[in-house]
Structure 1
Amino acid sequence: MDDKTRFVVCALGIFFCYFYFAILQEQITRGKYGDEENREPFTYALTLVGVQCLCNWIFAKGMLIAQPQKEDKTPVFYYLSSALTYLLAMITSNMALQWVPYPTQVVGKSAKPIPVMVLGVLIGNKRYDLKKYICIVTIVIGVALFMYKDGKTSSVNEETVGLGELLLFLSLSMDGLTGAIQDRMRAASSPSGKQMMLGMNGWSAIMTAIALMVTGEFFQFLKFAARYPYVWINLGMLALTGALGQLFIFMMVAGFGPLSCSVVTTTRKFFTVLCSVILFGNVLVTRQWYGAVLVFAGLFADMFMGKKHQPVKRSVEKENEKLIS
């Protein structure tokens, strides 16, 4: 297979796997179960995250068995702390879908570079040039336009107005902390992307299992799944598409670099918003379309100019240039 064909295969693999992943995630979290008289929402965010973490761990383990690597000497503390923030980011992001439409979650999470940069400066001792700040400001303005409420809250309970946005903010904050911890992790022992994926998802799966038992959500979910067994199919497909998407991301990064991979994944997010509008009736007003365009324009500008303004760190290591974490 030549490079052009391999690139097309990887790009289409990422696009379709995560495109279908997004559709499944919205079906699971935003759908109503049962008949018209008794409609139940899916409120089992811990279970959803736990399934993803476990399947990602199995997938990473399989890749490391197929392609053994040098021993990972990363201190357990780093994996524990990064797994906790990674887990909280996923849980709050999924919980937010109970109050905000899926396009809002996608666009909100696209602002991930903001907390990563801020906490990189505060904790990671990094410095960025003016172009980087301009890109980030563009993303901030776009997110603000998209999230701004026009005051029409008739369809939302007064007590829950803003709760979804708050959860997204918490999720982004956890993303920023995860990035800062991973920078420390790379500087300390330089684990590979597969090793980080294994360690973080493994500890996250353990933490989730403990939380599921302590809160009793696992048993509640089993009763829910017994009433609506087809939810298992959606969960299984969600885990499968997520794992396959990870495979194509590894192939893309290894063969064509992180920039090409970022372009493909960001393009996929934009089409995910369009798909959510078309398939699930999540209507966007003109202001929100402007906001979405600004967010993705800022992301693309940041990616294409990235090589020209890499963060400067007092003890920069070349391993920090590896994308997958």
Structure 2
Amino acid sequence: MYSTALLFTCVASIYVSFIYWSYLQEKLTSSNYSIDPINETAFFHFPLIINIVQCIFCIVSGSIYLYSKIQLNNKSNKDEKKDKENIIMFFPSLSKKTILTLYSISISQSISAPLSYMSLDHVDYILYLLAKSCKLVPVMFVHYFAFGTIYPKYKYIVAFIITFGVTLFTIGGMKSKTKEISEDGNILLGLTMLCISLLLDGFMNSAQDIIFKTNYKKLTGAHLMTYLNFFTMLNLTIYTIFMTSQFQNFISFIKINGYFALYDLIKFSLCGAVGQIFIFITLEKFSSVVLVTVTVTRKMLSMALSVVLFGHVLNWKQWCGLILVFVGVGLESLIKIFQKKKPISNKKTE
């Protein structure tokens, strides 16, 4: 009962925070922030800055979340012994292998997001959305081939149904009043970027699962959220300072066009930080496959709401895709209720 209530709370919180996060993301990247919008255009094209600010907010919220968890696990923090225990819980001793794995995940995270955005120069948004919405497949693919994880058969069936539903929904096409920015037509390069990004995402989610299994008593979702965002922020900041001029351009942009974009960036990062707390709770208490199922269906819900909010028109293929996704999620829920959960086995031996 507690597990079901926790999952419901996580799902609802992820939906609410990231649906508004998606709205702010679109507003931030497509709005004209010029002080004279009739005669001039000023678009906020600073993806590295967006990621760095998002990481900073996630580090702060993750630290608060971690501190709260530690305090709940202690009856009192007044004596010296408790203070030492709190410090140890906040900074647990980790093996070199775990630290290396954490940093490799942060590198994957640092490369994956910018690479997927770069692919939009070569493929249209429909193909981009299609690929990014099918994370279940690369996560299970990496789990199977890199870590030897074998899931119950129904997991593969559910992954196929949801992925097929997302594919059908996206390929069906959506009539919109928004004019898409044209790409250069180099589809092969764009697809290569998307595939690399998805495989990095798959490695990232799978490696997080392994970390929780091998360091269960030391690392929690709060630890992982704080550490990964810190490493990612470090990677992106070093790259941005020495390899780009985005910091200087960002400061000039704010000076010229005012603080409206900065306000939207702060709200965007705050929503992402709150949403990440519940993402890592889901990852810690359940699994990356459950998490990806939630995030994929959240994207579907965002698309469904956009039909109502922005006047998009769905055709029969998209309605079928939408129904298939929720059938897949419902099927998994029913199987979990009426069938005892089979333990995940490992086909490889150490």
Query: 1:80, CA displacement in angstroms?
Result: 1.2
Instruction: Render the CA deviation track for 1:258-313: whole Å, top value 9, x for unaligned.
Output: 79988876654333112333444555544234334334433443455466355321
- Name 1:221's counterpart in structure 2: 250
Q: Does 1:311 align with 2:313?
A: no
Q: CA deviation at 1:78?
A: 0.9
1:175 to 167, 188, 201: 201
Whether contact under 8 Å (1:266, 1:296) holds in the other structure is: no
The CA distance in 1 between the partners of 2:9 and 2:205, in whole Å, is 29
Q: Which residue of 1 aligns with 2:153?
A: 130
Change (3 A) 1:264 1:117: closer
Question: Structure 2 vs 1, CA of residues 93 and 216 (structure 1 numbering), >3 Å: closer, same or farther?
Answer: same
- Farther off after superposition, 167-176 or 296-305: 296-305
1:265-280 maps to which residues of 2 (within 5 A)? 268-280=298-310
Return the TM-score normalized by structure 2: 0.72
Q: Is the 8 A contact 1:74 1:188 kept in 2?
A: no
Correspondence for 1:203 among 226, 231, 242? 231
| Aligned-partner Cα distance in 2 for 1:245–1:10 | 9
* Matched residue SS, 1:159: coil
The answer (yes or no) to whether the contact 2:143–2:206 under 8 Å persists in 1 is: yes
Partner residue in 2 for 1:159: 184
Equivalent residue for 1:239, pick from 255, 258, 269: 269
Change in CA separation of 1:250 and 1:203 when aligned onto 2, cut-off 3 Å: closer
CA distance in 1 between partners of 2:295 and 2:28 (Å): 22
On the 8 A contact 1:270/1:296 being kept in 2, the answer is no
The aligned residue for residue 50 of structure 1 is 52
TM-score, normalized by length of structure 1? 0.77
Q: State the secondary structure of the residue aligned to 2:94.
A: coil
2:58 maps to a residue whose letter is N
State the Cα distance separating 1:120 from its structure 2 match: 0.7
Q: Report what 1:31 is aligned to.
A: 31
Tell me the residue number matched to 2:80.
none
Structure 1 residues 137 and 291: alpha-carbon distance in aligned structure 2, compared to 1, 3 A threshold: same
Contact 2:165 2:320 in 1 (8 A): yes
Inter-CA distance 32–97: structure 2 relative to 1 (3 Å threshold) = farther
- Matching residue of 1:112: 135
Q: Which moved more, 1:176-185 or 1:285-294?
A: 285-294
* Pairing 1:142–2:186 present: no
| Higher mean displacement: 184-193 or 196-205 | 184-193
In structure 2, the gaps of 5 or more residues are 71-85
Q: By how many angstroms is 1:209 displaced?
A: 0.5
Alignment root-mean-square deviation, CA:
3.9
Give me the whole-angstrom Cα distance separating, in 1, the residues matched to 2:252 and 2:56: 21
Which is greater in Rg?
Answer: 2
- CA offsets 1:179-230 (integer angstroms, 9 cap, x no match): 2322443344332111111111110000110121121122222222333320
2:30–2:44 Cα contact (<8 Å) kept: yes
Percent of aligned pairs with the same amino acid: 26
Q: Secondary structure at the match of 1:123?
A: helix
* Structure 1, gaps ≥5 residues long: 317-325
**Residue 63 (structure 2) aligns with:** 61
Taking the aligned partners of 2:296 and 2:160, their CA distance within structure 1 comes to 18
